[in-house]
Structure formats: C-alpha cells, structure tokens
Amino acid sequence: MAKSDKRIYLASRSPRRRELLKQIGVTFELLLLREHLPRGADVDERQLAGEAPISYVTRITRAKAEFGWRHVMLRRALAYPVLAADTAVVLNGEIIGKPVDAQHAQEILRRLSGTTHQVLTAVAIAHKDHVETALSASTVEFRDLGDDEIRRYVASGEPLDKAGAYAIQGRAAVFVRALNGSYSGVMGLPLFETAQLLRDYEITPV
C-alpha cells in the first residue's frame, strides 16, 4: 500500500467515532451502513437467545466490518481496510440498548443511577479474506441521579441516540463518579485497541 493510500473506510454513522479517528490522525472515508430503513438494516443487530454480551458485541462488530468489505468489493472501490465498531452498555449482565424515545431514556438513566455498569466496545478491521477484532471493557460508576436532572438531560436530546442513553463526553460527564478502563472506549471507539489493529496495515496513528 503506497504512502498516499494509508487510509481506511469507517463503517459507522457515529460522529464520535469520526472525531476520535481524526484525533489520532487517521485518514478515512465514510462507509454508511443502512439502519432501520424500510428495506431493513444491512446488519441484523438483534441479540441471539442466550448470547453473552461480549459474544454479542464482537459478533455484531465483525459482521459490520465484513459487510462493509463486501460492499467495497461490489462497488469496485479502492481496497482500503474497513473498520467497524459497536458498543454495548451492560447492567447486571443485561445489554441496555439505545432508547426508543424520551420516556425510555429516562427509564434507562433511572436504572443506571447509583450503580456500576460495564461498557463493551468491540473494534474490527476487515481486509480481503481477513478480519481482526479487539475488545475494550470498561466499568462506569454513576452517582445517584435526581428525577429533575434526568428530565433536563433527556430534554437536551443528547441521550436519544446513545447506547445506555448517555454520552460520557457530553453533559453526562457530571454523572460519572468513577471510570475504570478506556474513556474513548466508552465514547465508542477505544483508541489503544484501534491503533494496535491499524498497525497491521502499516497505518500508524499520531
């Protein structure tokens, strides 16, 4: 791969992942997968019966990267590696997804209030017939949240497209009593693990 071709495709709609890749100097092109459209999503993100959270988030991430690579080949586009990621917030072994509406967001935040939960973010890179994955696992402790501040936070609109109904890099930073793990992983793209995977493609961040 020539020096000028040191770039990847990012198979994600997340603006946080774009910001994080830019932060470490990785050049990328967007590869947008369909989500919840009339024709159906490109990757079925439903959890399988009895599937553990780590297995789930790794499987979905790998599927997104593989689908992205197939899409690149069908388009006959330049064969850059395809990076995908997926994040799951886990409370007492249960995956807490994105809220469907404001009321659901309030319910999720009440459940997370005063508890410690886990944030799992998997990263995968697909290129040719090879897929490599990595996993970041962090624990986040929330202080007790009052009903009024939960309502104000939800009214800001920030939690409505976020796993676990919060953004650690946004207003919800004031909810976090402690974090053990990867701050960027909780945001949605663990930069340490991502950089390790990119080195296999002679892409050296920073």
Residues assigned a catalytic role: 86
The pairing of strands 94-96 and 116-127 is: unpaired
What is the Cα–Cα distance from 168 to 184, expressed in whole angstroms?
9
Residue 30: strand pairing partners: 10
What does the alpha-carbon distance between residue 81 and residue 8 come to, in Å, rounded to a whole number?
5
Cα(171)–Cα(173) distance, integer angstroms: 5
Question: Are 169 and 16 a contacting pair, CB within 8 Å?
Answer: yes
Residue from 93, 199, 117 nearest 166 by CA: 117
| Cβ contact 82:138 at 8 Å | no
CA–CA separation, 129 vs 131, rounded Å?
7
CA angle 196, 191, 71 (to 5 degrees): 75
Give helix 15-23 / helix 191-199 axis angle, nearest 10°. Answer: 60
